[in-house]
Amino acid sequence: MKAAAPKFFGPMLNVRDFEASLSFYRDTLGMKGDGENPYAEFTGGKSVLVILDHAFGRTVGGLAGPTPRAWKREGLGLAVQMKDADQEYQRVKAKGVAIASPPTDRPRMGLRNSQVFDPDGNIVELTSPLKKAAK
């Protein structure tokens, strides 16, 4: 009998400050979802983002639980599609969110995006479709 193929659920971030991360994704970015320490889910379309309190994750996983190396996450980036990347960039910048890069056209990808940091230093890309030039 053939086993069912695994289904990708979505990324799960182990976070140091659960409340700060919950506020960032829910209140600052306006993502749909909620939860309470130690677990929250945010949904958008068919995608799910989970945040998990790091200390709780270690208790569930035992000593082999997740321990990010010095909380450096260069290999991880979350892309969040917005209606207008420029407006969203200005809005989150005004709220004091740490900025990685200002809005930039990415013609090869058909996107305009900026990058910001979440409370744990993860890159969050704020993206919208690239507007076509007027003829």
What residues does each domain of the chain span? 12-129
Residues 6+ positions from 78 with CB-CB distance below 8 Å? 11, 49, 118, 122, 123, 124, 125
For residue 7, what pLDDT is reported? 74
Q: Rounded to whole angstroms, what are the CA distances from 123 to 76, 91, 126? A: 7, 17, 10
pLDDT tens-place string over residues 15-52: 889 999 999 999 999 999 889 999 999 988 788 888 88
Options 3.40.50.1460, 1.20.120.160, 3.10.180.10, 3.40.50.2020; CATH of 12-129: 3.10.180.10
Helices (H), 24-84: 54-61
Higher per-residue pLDDT: 88 or 133: 88
Does this model's pTM top 0.85?
Answer: no
Q: Is 90 exceeded by the pLDDT of residue 114?
A: yes
Token digits for 31?
């993502």
In whole angstroms, give the CA distance from residue 38 to residue 61.
14
Which of the pair, 4 or 78, is modelled with greater confidence?
78
